[in-house]
Amino acid sequence: MKMNILKKILFRVILPIALVMNFATALMAQVGIQQGLLDPNLSDEKALLAAPHLNTTIVKGLLERRPFLKMKDLNAFLSQSLSREQLTDLYGKMFVHLNLNIAPEDEILMIPGVGKRMLHEFLEYRPYQTLAQFRKEIGKYVDEKELGRLERYVFVPIHLNTASDEDILSIPGMGPKMLHEFKEYRPYKNMDQFRREIGKYVDSKELARLERYVTLN
């Protein structure tokens, strides 16, 4: 009898609260949830080899050249080996996150399925303050499924001095230790300070990758 009561409490009270908390966390995140989209700057060799049209030679080149700080740089490297059709197919499975506020038009158009009309909508609402704003505005033009697909490709930079733990942890590759370091040196006066302090813990390549996701503006 008691067990049945506990089960009812679990499904009627505790479970809905957990779902709401998970949803709230997703809303706070400033980087689109990957949902199976590979990050070429973080994915291991095995995962990259499983991506469409990538072979051992291409993957070796990716690993040697990363991080790719711009989608344009990744595209330039891959274009040496893959056709336009193959690239479009690949970008449905692997992509470098685009900064919603500064990504150039040609990079936005690399997102599979994005044409001139959707490009216009992406640009119209700049500057984006949050990823929730992107969901609200772009959600006027596409359904929930397509919105979720598009969201995987983008991010809004987090503010170094005010970002929540959830926002910071939404940065790909971020863990509890680096979260602590990000917060330890607050308030940051300028980006040089960020580079100097976080550069104590990571090499210059990783520092440049992390810097893409943060701002003091």
- Residue pLDDT, tens place only, 94-126: 999 999 999 999 999 999 999 999 999 999 999
What confidence category does residue 19 fall into, taking pLDDT thresholds of 50, 70 and 90? very low
Separation CA 97–CA 139 (nearest Å): 19
Q: 144 and 54, same structural domain? A: yes
Structural domain of residue 122, as residue ranges? Answer: 45-155
Q: 99 and 198, same structural domain? A: no
In tens, the pLDDT along 25-45 reads 333 468 877 778 999 999 999
User: Residue 201 maps to which CATH number?
Assistant: 1.10.150
Q: Which two tokens stand for residue 38?
A: 């590979």
Q: 80 and 113, same structural domain? A: yes
* 124 falls within a domain: yes
User: What is the per-residue pLDDT for 26?
Assistant: 38
Domain boundary (155, 170, 194) is at 155
Domain boundary (130, 155, 180) is at 155
Q: 97 and 193, same structural domain? A: no
In tens, the pLDDT along 29-88 reads 688 777 789 999 999 999 999 999 999 999 999 999 999 999 999 999 999 999 999 999
Helix axes 176-184, 191-198, angle to 10 degrees: 130
Q: 166 and 178, same structural domain? A: yes
Please say whether the beta carbons of 189 and 133 come within 8 A: no
* 136 falls within a domain: yes
User: What is the per-residue pLDDT for 32?
Assistant: 79
What does the buried/exposed string (b/e) look like for 85-122 if buried means 16 or more CB atoms within 10 Å of the residue's CB? eebeebbbbbbbbbbbbebeeebbebbbeeeeebeeeb
Separation CA 26–CA 29 (nearest Å): 5
Q: 124 and 206, same structural domain? A: no
Q: 125 and 69, same structural domain? A: yes
User: What is the per-residue pLDDT for 20?
Assistant: 36
Q: 86 and 174, same structural domain? A: no
What confidence category does residue 191 fall into, taking pLDDT thresholds of 50, 70 and 90? very high
Mean pLDDT of the chain: 89
Number of domains in the chain: 2
Nearest in space to 75 (alpha carbons), one of 88, 63, 64: 88
Q: 116 and 85, same structural domain? A: yes
Name the residue with higher pLDDT: 127 or 24: 127
Domain boundary (155, 181, 202) is at 155
User: What is the per-residue pLDDT for 35?
Assistant: 79
CA 35 to chain centre: 10
Question: Which pTM does this prediction carry?
Answer: 0.84
